[in-house]
């Protein structure tokens, strides 16, 4: 069974592009790297596979609003505690 069916995997999908932009908004990466990703994203030079790698990189480099003293809600604390709980096991 083919995972993507008839989907074109040579270029990133619309959903991937949107997700990358959302992740960039909360990323804890150097500003220059953020600009490089943003430029590449909008120059349509991202492949589907590169988008997957970029999403993984950005997910691993998200700002921690709680530790950073940024505005957060109770659900953010619960999400962080759940993540820490899973890391212990």
Q: Which residues contact 31 (CB under 8 A, 6 or more apart)?
A: none
The reply to whether 9 falls in a domain is no
What confidence category does residue 88 fall into, taking pLDDT thresholds of 50, 70 and 90? low
14-25 helix and 48-60 helix, angle to the nearest 10 degrees: 20
The number of folded domains in the chain is 1
What pTM was estimated for this model as a whole?
A: 0.65
The reply to whether 38 falls in a domain is yes
Q: Nearest Cα to 70, choosing from 15, 28, 20?
A: 28
Give per-residue pLDDT as tens, 58-78. Answer: 999 988 766 556 666 777 777
The reply to whether 70 falls in a domain is yes
Residue 13 contacts residue 53 (beta carbons within 8 Å): no
Domain containing residue 75: 14-88
Residue 71 contacts residue 65 (beta carbons within 8 Å): yes
The reply to whether 64 falls in a domain is yes
């Amino acid at each position: 069974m083919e995972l993507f069916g008839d989907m074109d995997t040579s270029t990133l999908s619309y959903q991937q592009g949107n997700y990358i932009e959302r992740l960039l908004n909360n990323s804890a990466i150097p500003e220059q790297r953020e600009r490089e990703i943003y430029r590449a994203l909008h120059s349509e030079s991202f492949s589907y596979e590169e988008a997957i790698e970029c999403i993984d990189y950005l997910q691993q480099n998200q700002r921690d609003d709680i530790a950073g003293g940024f505005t957060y809600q109770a659900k953010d604390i619960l999400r962080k505690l759940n993540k820490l709980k899973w890391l212990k096991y």
